[in-house]
Amino acid sequence: MALHDAHCHFFSTRFFETLGRERAGGAPHSAEEVTAALGWDAPGPSEAVADRWIAELDRHQVARAALMASVPGDEESVAAAVARHPARLVGYFALNAAAPDAAERATRAFAQLGLRCACLFPAMHRYAITDDRVVRIFEIAAAHGGALFVHCGYLSIEARVRLGLRSSFDLRLGDPLAVAVTASRFPTVPVIIPHFGGGFLREALMAADVCPTIHLDTSSSNGWLKYVPGVTLADVFRRALATAGSERLLFGTDSSYFPRGWRSVIHGTQMAALDEIGVEPAVRTGIMSGNFDRIFPSRAPQQQTVSEPL
């Protein structure tokens, strides 16, 4: 069975420099200083990070993966990584839809940099998904065959928490029902809501039920389950399959930094949940790779092969 990961973060030098500018005292901190404080590996050039990701994916037999530029303005970093390994990597980019240059950045990312998915964080950047500025991003995605990723529900960024950085998020703005309102206007734009809605499972399922372009990704440890007592990950998969269907679930891990690398334990937990509810092999294949390939077909002339595990 092919394995594709629809949710990984590309932590570039620029990502860590952005965090460094927010640290106490107002003085900039280099990427090396920030990663040292976190206990993570410094990234180095984007091409080097891309090569490390490919080696990590090979080690775990992951054929393709989406890598997300994780702060607005970092489109070039992930674009360089994707250009280096176009058969294996798909580029996502974080975008503040409320920023004055959002439409310009989105157009450039899709049309010139070859990125495939704009990632919106309405709770972080404090705008409504029904805002006209978001509608404009949907229009740009539609014009360039792009997709949108919209974070909903609970939001916590590990690096910010560990560095003690203030995060003032308005979780009320991450409502999947609002996503359905805007997404329904753009029938050619695939929309991905990660983490099964991040605690808004009911709302995410309702949104997917009324809007056939909404997909759910399965990523992370799904710690939001603590807000839904008595529900297990197997229950979540069962409900999502019954409502959204197998064609609209995308496997993901929310992998991000090194040396941790690719989160194989997340894959194992999800496979166990699928085993528990008796998911058929064909359905499992769609979740694990087929749906990703449909939304993000390879642009490379020939798919690269994944090396044997070490």
pLDDT tens per residue across span 23-79: 876 667 899 999 999 999 999 999 999 999 999 999 999 999 999 999 999 999 999
Exposure string of 52-85, with b = 16+ CB inside 10 Å and e = fewer, is bbbebbbbbebbbbbbbbbbbbbbbbbbbbbebb
Report the Cα–Cα distance between both ends of the chain, in Å, rounded. 18
What residues are paired with 67 via a beta bridge? 8, 91
What residues are paired with 5 via a beta bridge? 65
pLDDT in tens, 211-224: 999 999 999 999 99
Assess whether pLDDT exceeds 50 at residue 303.
Answer: no
Q: Which of 149, 177, 116 is nearest to 250 (CA)?
A: 149
pLDDT in tens, 162-192: 999 989 999 999 999 999 999 999 999 999 9
**Sequence ranges of the domains in the chain:** 4-295
Assess whether pLDDT exceeds 70 at residue 306.
Answer: no
pLDDT at 126: 97
Rounded CA-CA distance 160/167 in Å is 7
Chain-wide mean pLDDT for the chain? 94
* 9, 63, 167, 285 from 171: Cα distances, Å: 21, 34, 11, 33
Assess whether pLDDT exceeds 50 at residue 134.
Answer: yes
What residues are paired with 90 via a beta bridge? 66
At the fourth CATH level, the homologous superfamily of domain 4-295 is Metal-dependent hydrolases (3.20.20.140)
Assess whether pLDDT exceeds 60 at residue 209.
Answer: yes
Q: Give the angle subtended at the CA of 158 by the CAs of 11 and 34, to the nearest 5°.
A: 55
Assess whether pLDDT exceeds 50 at residue 308.
Answer: no
Is 104 exposed, middle or buried (CB count within 10 Å of its CB: 0-12, 13-18, 19+)? exposed
Does the CA dihedral 255-222-296-9 come out positive or negative?
A: negative
